[in-house]
Amino acid sequence: MDTRWNYTLVILEVAIEQRTSLQSWIKDHPELAHLKFDSERWERLKQIRDLLKPFEDHTLYVSRNEPTIHRIPNLYLKLDQLLQGIVKKQGIYASYDKTLIEAARKGLEVFNKYYSAMKENDMYWIACVLDPRIKIKWIEKNHLDAEEIIARIKGYLKKAYVPEEQLPVGPIGKQEKFRVDIEMEFLQEYGSAVSADDDIERYFNSPQVSYVADKSVTQVQWVENWWAAHKVEYPLMFAVARDYLPIPGAEVDVERLFNIARDILGLRRMSMSAESLRALILLKDYIRRQAAGQV
């Protein structure tokens, strides 16, 4: 499995799938009769499975080998809605066992601490608006303080990302100078220069980008391709995308790195230098990506 976080769910799914076989096996072994589940217990197992399933979907999503930070705010919102729905016994959760409702209530208390911390970190909001198909629409629809959030992140971006100063140009010949003067005169008359405010404001204020769904391209790859194609149009926002989109949405990659290092540093390799370990980790990752057709 890609992650150990969902072992409980996997065990429950296998048990429910093999319910008939398990009951027959217990019937053939009378000494295990005390382990037999009645219909009520099987129904409770199904409820636990259904409760855990959305968490598996979300953990597997952030466990992928590609950036997911721009989707983290929406994942948090969906998990909050899920836990709130369970605690309030909405819809299918109205018939849930009271012990599961109480477990969800405790889980919601812990979850809210992380959710609050996420809301206070503008890194997530900035990454969220970097999908040109969504921009600020998701924030406006799902948060009462949307105007404050948008104004805050725009103000930060305008301070943190400013046009680079032009390097002094060396001496040029008369013919080249004439060509440059003609081009600049034409641009000054009919074009408009881009400032930091123009770049960032234009991106935020322009309509969302229409798109054609293509299942052969991942959504993350679509966003990356769009920014690569529009880096000249939005040079400052492209710099923002370059800085924020590669940030991992979870610590999964770090955990995988530690696992790889543990596998490499066996009992007979404890004297390996840091440089050798780094080289082996990079080589192993390159071979893995090459086999998967990613390089």
Residue 252: is its pLDDT beyond 70? Answer: no
Which amino acid type is present at position 65? N
Q: How confident is the model at residue 67 (pLDDT cuts 50, 70, 90)?
A: low
Residue 166: is its pLDDT beyond 60? Answer: no
pLDDT of residue 2: 47
Percent of the chain with pLDDT over 90: 43
pLDDT of residue 69: 85
Nearest-5° Cα angle at 255, 249 to 257: 105
- The predicted-structure confidence for 200-229, as pLDDT tens digits, reads as follows 999 999 999 988 777 777 788 889 899 999
- The predicted-structure confidence for 171-201, as pLDDT tens digits, reads as follows 556 666 666 677 777 777 676 665 556 789 9
Q: How confident is the model at residue 247 (pLDDT cuts 50, 70, 90)?
A: confident
- The predicted-structure confidence for 129-165, as pLDDT tens digits, reads as follows 999 999 999 999 999 999 999 999 999 999 999 877 5
pLDDT of residue 289: 75
| DSSP conformational letter for 163 | P
Residue 254: is its pLDDT beyond 80? Answer: no
Indicate the pTM of the whole model: 0.72
Is there a contact between 139 and 208 (Cβ–Cβ < 8 Å)?
Answer: no
pLDDT of residue 248: 79
Q: CB neighbours of 123 closer than 8 A, spacing ≥ 6?
A: 69, 244, 247
As a whole number, the mean pLDDT across the chain is 84
Three-state secondary structure of 64-108: CCCCCHHHHHHHHHHHHHHHHHHHCCCHHHHHCCHHHHHHHHHHH
Alpha-carbon gap, residue 230 to 212, rounded angstroms: 17
- The predicted-structure confidence for 8-49, as pLDDT tens digits, reads as follows 888 999 999 999 999 999 999 989 888 888 999 999 999 999
Residue 169: is its pLDDT beyond 70? Answer: no
Give the residue with greater pLDDT, 170 vs 275.
Answer: 275
Is 51 strand, coil or helix?
helix
Alpha-carbon gap, residue 222 to 212, rounded angstroms: 10
